[in-house]
Structures are given as C-alpha cells and as structure tokens.
Structure 1
Amino acid sequence: MKATVLTALALALGAATSAHAAGEAKNVIFFLGDGMGPTVVTAARLHKYGEAGQLTMGTLSRTAKIKTFSHDAQTTDSAPSMSAYMTGVKMNNEVLSMSADTLAQAPLRDGNNNAGLSGCDGSNGHAVPTLAELAKAKGKAAGVVTTTTITHATPAAVYAHICHRDAYYDIAKQAVPGGDGYNTALGNGLDVIMGGGANEWTPFNATTNNKGRADGRDLVAELGALGYTTVRSNTELAAVTPTAGSKLFGVFSSRSHLDYEFDRASNVNNTQPSLAEMTAKAIDVLKNDSDGYFLMVEGGRIDHALHGTNAKRALEDAVAFDDAIKLALTKVDLSNTLIVVTADHDHTMVFNGYGKKGNSVLDIVRDYKHNEPLLDADGQSYTTLVFGNGPNRPAIRTSVSSEQAMDPAYLQETIVRQGSETHGGGDVMLFADGAGAKSFKGTMDNTKVFSLVKDALGL
C-alpha cells in the first residue's frame, strides 16, 4: 500500500514537473515603453526620484539588453520591432506582423481623401502568428492597452497583419469579430481593447468626424452588439464591473492619441483615464479567465514627445508608464504571472556635461563644484538633455536660462537639423520578474523575447 502511494505521488510530481517545464506562467503582462531608450529610463528616474531613487521597473529581478534592428534597417520603426516581440520574426520597416519577405506598401486614400486603406498586394508575404493569437488558441484571454490610437503600430502588431502600419481603417477592421476584414486567428476576439482614436472606428461625417470611416461602419457599435462593454471616459471606465466572460472596449479620444500625461493631469476637466487606470481595469477583466491571459500595455506617447524634442512631456509619460507597472504589481501574483518591461527602440536624446548632483535633469547644467552654470566652448550655457537630431538647431547658439529650460514647453536643442527627431539604433533595456523571468538575461535579439514569452506561457 505504501509503495503504491509513493508511486502515485512520484507520477503526480512528474506530471507537475512536466507541466511546469512546458509553461511556468499562467499570465503575461508585456509592458512596452515606446521609444524608451536607456537615457530616457535614467532621466525619468532622476526626474521623479533623484539619483539614488528607483523606478518600479528598475526593481524587477531580471535585466537584459535588447537588439532592435529590423529586417532592412539598422534603426527600426515601431512596427517591425513590436512585431518581432509579438511574432519572433524580423520584418521590414513599416510592416506589421507579416513574414520577412513582406514589402511595405504605402496605404491608399479612401473616398474622403483620407489615407488609411491597405494597399497590400495579396501575394506580398503572409501573416505570422502573434502571442495574442497563440494565447487565444490556448483558451486564454488577451488584451491591448495604449495611450496612442488603438490602430497605432505597437498595439496593431498584437492583433493585425498588414503591409503598412498607416492603413489605420483596415487595421481596425481586424479587431471586430465576425465583420468584414476580421482577423479570424483571434478566435472570439480580444477581450480588452483600450486607447485613443475613435475616428478610425466610427463613420465619416463632414462636420463632426472628417477623419472617420468612409465605409460607413460603426465598429464601436458593432463591438457593443457583440457583447463588449464600450466606454468613452474615465468615469465610465471606473464604473465597469467585470464578470466572467465580459469584454471591454474603451476609446478615450475622438481623434488621434490620448493626451500627454502632463496635460491630462494638469487639466481638471480631462475625461481620459491614466495608463495605470486602464491597466488596472484590463487586469480586472482578463483575470476572470480561468486559463489565464496575455496583456500588452503601451506607454506610447513617450515616443511622440521625444520626436518633438520635448523632454518634459517624454519624462512625465515615462513616469506614468512606470506607475502603471507599479499598480499592476499590486494586482498580480508573480508566482504565476510573468511581467516583461521593455522598449521597441531608442531615441537620440543624450545626457550632457558634468552636472551637480541634485540638479534637475531638465535644467541647464551646473558645475558640481560651484553650482554655477557650465559653459560651452563659446561661453554659452546648455541643458543636461539634448538631442542628436531634430528641428531645434540654432544657426548661432546663445545661452539657455533656467527659466527657459524648465518651461514645460521647452524644446531641447539638437545637433543635426531634421524636421522631426528620429529613432536611435541603440540597444534598449528589458526588465522582467515573476514566473519564467529567469530566462531573461544578457544581450538578446527582440525575436528571442518572443520565444521566451511563448515558452513561459506554454504556447
């Protein structure tokens, strides 16, 4: 009898070990700070917590460096980099979750002369499975949360396949179960979708929605008819009480992206939720699936502020992104949930001079010995943060005052003149914790991250 019990116990332990090896994580939350290169992480920490402080992402137990080049470029855009994380495939710039041989084909204009329809040739590559699709196929729930438009490159890479990231109207169709253009690999559909850009989901109106859909479809209404709870404000979102099987669609701007965090928080009349609020509600919805979930959360406007060389807004959005991570950690069990935090690419922002400890990272550089403004070779003061390229290269440099530098609207100076600051090609950081996190270490390609997440979930 005793031998029989021991044998049964051994078999049970063997089965448990096998299941554990196949996938340690029941749930995964993949946090993506768009454009959040290493300098942004450091500057955000200094901005919020000081030199000795720590962002929440910096407290996670595992770190790695990630190579982000795309199939055809040293410096990637968001589409192929996020797609590499989601599919494990290197693809060309501007392409979303397609095979490596897919060529980017510019979107077409609709009947209202709005660009955003797919110009893809049917013979131009093929779709490759995403983590969300693989999770849905295993019975898990899946969701996307972003501060950009829901159809922007990063969230779109989770649920759509298309040869150009700017085909917004056709990207939106791929998220609506049963409708024309639906991505059937999502099964019964994403369980949570939240972000901005209602115009891409609602019909064109020359007066009230001139960037709306020319096909006349109201995708928000279609999702509502399918059982999704649809919300348009922070108060409506707060009122949602998730139950088993419930689905949520939230779109919080009538057109384009959500506001920068600095502007959202400064406006008492703003009706948009914070990224942390959206993340918390998404977890509340998805955790009702007994099989687990995959959630992607993007702090997307970090990237936009960097393109505009507005460091203040970039850092405020990076801190808001970190706050979403902090809140998520209070709501999950790391024994069965993997948290991954990374970026899709770097930017050209650099950290400048020998500044005094405690000096604001947004201010001019002050000498650490005498607390006096440090001067360049021409005798002019300069800011701690500058950009390698962008629109703000003066013909002749003059001194920058603290008053100028600390203004939230101040745009940092640039070295090479460009119409808009570009991405950088440097490696980015990755932080991980929880179930399956031990595999994240060293320097790895972004496609390898896909494999590690996939293995952790047992997909």
Structure 2
Amino acid sequence: DWPEGDGFEVAFGGGRSNFMKQGTPDPEEPVKTSFRRDDRDLIAEWEAKDDHHKYITDLAGFEAEDFTGEDKVLGLFDNSHMQFDLDRADDPAGEPSLAEMTRAAITRLSQDPDGFVLMVEGGRIDHAHHAGNAARALSDTDAFDQAIAAALDMTSRDDTLVIVTADHSHTLTISGYPSRGNPILGKVDGGAGGGYMKAIDGKPYTTLSYANGPGACRAVGGDLVCTRLDLTDVDTTDKDFLQQSEVPMLSEAHGGEDVAVFASGPGANLVSGVIEENEIFQVMGRASGLVAAPATDE
C-alpha cells in the first residue's frame, strides 16, 4: 500500500517469510514458516493486481524475466536475508548478484521518460561486520562496488544523480606494518622472509581486527576462553575466520566516526566537505523534484 503514485516497479531482496500468511511453509525451505501473525498473503495480493505484476523466487526466474517491458517485478530470493556474496554460489535455488539486480532494475526503470528513483543497499556488509567476519564483509563490499559500477555504466552523469554513502561505520581497523602485497586477511609479516611480526605476548596478529566483537573469545571444551589465541598455525584467510577483537561482545558494534559520501551527476556539487546526514535527503529530494528548493529573495 502506497498513497502516492502507482507503487514500485521493481523490488528485489530476501525476507520472503514476511510476505506469506502465518503458518505458510517456505517454498524452498519447508521447515521454515512465515513470520507474519495474520492471514494476509502479500505475494498473492501482488500477483492479483494484474497480469503485469510478476513474482520471482530464484535465479532462473530472474534470468527469464524481460525487464525491458512493462512488468512490475517483486523478487524475493530467500526466506530471510539473501546469501553473503561468498556463499551465493552454494544457494540451491540460486540468487542474482547485487550488480545483476541493479542492472535489471535500471533496465526496467529506464522505460519511464520522467526518470526514476532507485535505492541499492549492500545490506549484508553490516551483518558480516557484526559477526566479526572481515572476509564476508569485504566480499560484500566488493559486490556493492560492482553494483555501483553497473549503475554508473547504465546511466549518464548528464541527467542522473548517483549518491553512494553509508549510515554508519564499524570498529574494523587496519594495524601493523605488513609488507606490500601481503594478504589483507593475513597475518602481519616481517618482510624480507622475516616471518610474522609478534605482539608483546609473543603471538602473531592479523592486519585486520575489531575493537570489539565475538572474535575475542572462543569455546574450548564447553568453556568460553577469552585469552588471545596463537594464530601461528591458523588460516586467517579462511572465509569463516573471525578477526580477533579487544573487547568481547556477542555482536560487534557500530563505529562513531564520519562516513564517506560520494556523488556524481546533477547536484553532485552540493555533496562536498563535511555535511549533515539530513542534507543528503535534501539533495536527493531536489534532484527527484519531490522536495522544493528553498525560496530566494530574487
């Protein structure tokens, strides 16, 4: 339900369990059921609108859809969150990448001569950081970067404003003096065949770590041990490795520093230096024509 306009043209993501009426088993994972507490079937309501309202659940359906036409497409590719990009290939039903979804969305939205508004979120970057898992966080950041590249490739800076930003940071830090070319997920090396650099506790440490998070502790024989693990024989580049952290927490916390904001296209000149978060809304609002510019004396 949306009081303005005729609704959205494309919406892609996970969260299928929030659209099915209560008690409904998931079509791909029947052991999981709807999160809803009422009998509304939002998927059925969507499809019942008319023949141009399409619903897809997997990669095959996504690839079969013609986004150059008039269809309005709802794509729900997972019961809950979509897969991390590192795990996407292991999904039995298949999921499109963030860049593929971005290209499909722009293809569909570009049919409107009056322009469009599209939001693309690399939402699982945040989830990986909360888990203290830098491998998946960096992989999903790369997937987001590919989506940005797709958006820039498919639009013109003469008539399309593209803004890239984040709503917060995390406590991930880059430390030590690893040699050039040392794996970003690896341990800090001494350079020139000198082995690993050692902290004052005599143990090697990784280039990436968190100020807080689950990587401070580990389960040993049913007990929680929070002394720092000797990483000498640990493969810290494994995608499941949790970076060590200083303060033990079940979930790593957000950071508090300013985040970057980048812009290209009409109105990009308004995005420079240090600005307040709400100013980004004003820039987007004016570019879309949904927010009036402030009145002047002229």
TM-score, structure 1 normalization: 0.57
2:248 paired with 1:423: no
Residues 164-198 of structure 1, C-alpha deviations (whole Å, 9 max, x = no match) = xxxxxxxxxxxxxxxxxx342x3311221110011
> For residues 218 and 355 of structure 1, what CA distance do their matches in structure 2 show?
54
Q: From the superposition, tell whether residues 391 and 250 of structure 1 become closer, same or farther in structure 2 (CA, over 3 Å).
A: same
Determine the structure 2 residue equivalent to 1:374: 197
Determine the structure 2 residue equivalent to 1:256: 80
Q: How far 1:230 moved relative to its partner?
A: 1.0
- Letter matched to residue 251 of structure 1: L
2:103 paired with 1:280: yes
> For residues 417 and 396 of structure 1, what CA distance do their matches in structure 2 show?
10
Counterpart secondary structure, 1:295: coil
Q: How far 1:214 moved relative to its partner?
A: 2.6
Q: From the superposition, tell whether residues 336 and 367 of structure 1 become closer, same or farther in structure 2 (CA, over 3 Å).
A: same
Give the unaligned 5+ runs of structure 2: 218-225, 291-298
Counterpart secondary structure, 2:111: coil
Counterpart secondary structure, 1:456: helix
Structure 1 residues 50-449: aligned runs within 5 Å: 182-184=1-3, 186-205=4-23, 208=30, 209-227=32-50, 228-243=53-68, 245-253=70-78, 255-265=79-89, 267=90, 269-368=92-191, 370-394=193-217, 395-401=226-232, 403-449=234-280
Preserved contact between residue 279 and residue 297 of structure 1 (Cα < 8 Å): yes
Give the alignment partner of residue 450 of structure 1, picking from 281, 285, 288. Answer: 281
Q: How far 1:392 moved relative to its partner?
A: 2.2
Preserved contact between residue 280 and residue 327 of structure 1 (Cα < 8 Å): yes
- Letter matched to residue 216 of structure 1: D
Preserved contact between residue 21 and residue 37 of structure 2 (Cα < 8 Å): yes
Preserved contact between residue 20 and residue 34 of structure 2 (Cα < 8 Å): no
Q: How far 1:296 moved relative to its partner?
A: 0.1
- Letter matched to residue 85 of structure 2: E
* Aligned-residue RMSD, C-alpha: 1.8
> For residues 401 and 299 of structure 1, what CA distance do their matches in structure 2 show?
33
> For residues 18 and 48 of structure 2, what CA distance do their matches in structure 1 show?
18
Determine the structure 2 residue equivalent to 1:16: none
Counterpart secondary structure, 1:193: strand
> How many residues get paired?
275
Give the unaligned 5+ runs of structure 1: 1-181
Q: How far 1:409 moved relative to its partner?
A: 0.7
Q: Which moved more, 1:362-371 or 1:294-303?
A: 362-371
Q: From the superposition, tell whether residues 341 and 402 of structure 1 become closer, same or farther in structure 2 (CA, over 3 Å).
A: farther
Residues 208-229 of structure 1, C-alpha deviations (whole Å, 9 max, x = no match) = 4533423211101111112321
Preserved contact between residue 363 and residue 406 of structure 1 (Cα < 8 Å): yes
> For residues 334 and 401 of structure 1, what CA distance do their matches in structure 2 show?
49
Q: How far 1:369 moved relative to its partner?
A: 5.2
Q: How far 1:351 moved relative to its partner?
A: 0.6
- Letter matched to residue 17 of structure 2: N
- Letter matched to residue 155 of structure 2: V
> For residues 258 and 251 of structure 2, what CA distance do their matches in structure 1 show?
21
Preserved contact between residue 356 and residue 371 of structure 1 (Cα < 8 Å): no
Counterpart secondary structure, 2:246: strand
Q: Percent identity?
A: 39
Q: How far 1:244 moved relative to its partner?
A: 5.5
> For residues 286 and 190 of structure 2, what CA distance do their matches in structure 1 show?
50
Residues 224-261 of structure 1, C-alpha deviations (whole Å, 9 max, x = no match) = 112321111112112211356431111001x2100000
Q: How far 1:398 moved relative to its partner?
A: 3.4
Counterpart secondary structure, 1:303: helix
Preserved contact between residue 58 and residue 93 of structure 2 (Cα < 8 Å): no
> For residues 222 and 371 of structure 1, what CA distance do their matches in structure 2 show?
65
> For residues 213 and 275 of structure 2, what CA distance do their matches in structure 1 show?
29
Relative contact order, CA 8 A, sep 6+: which one is greater? 1
- Letter matched to residue 18 of structure 2: E
> For residues 113 and 6 of structure 2, what CA distance do their matches in structure 1 show?
16
Runs of 4+ in 1 over 4 A off after TM superposition: none
Q: How far 1:324 moved relative to its partner?
A: 0.9
Counterpart secondary structure, 1:386: strand
Residues 36-82 of structure 1, C-alpha deviations (whole Å, 9 max, x = no match) = xxxxxxxxxxxxxxxxxxxxxxxxxxxxxxxxxxxxxxxxxxxxxxx
Counterpart secondary structure, 2:164: strand
> For residues 233 and 148 of structure 2, what CA distance do their matches in structure 1 show?
32
Q: How far 1:359 moved relative to its partner?
A: 0.3
Q: Which moved more, 1:377-386 or 1:205-214?
A: 205-214
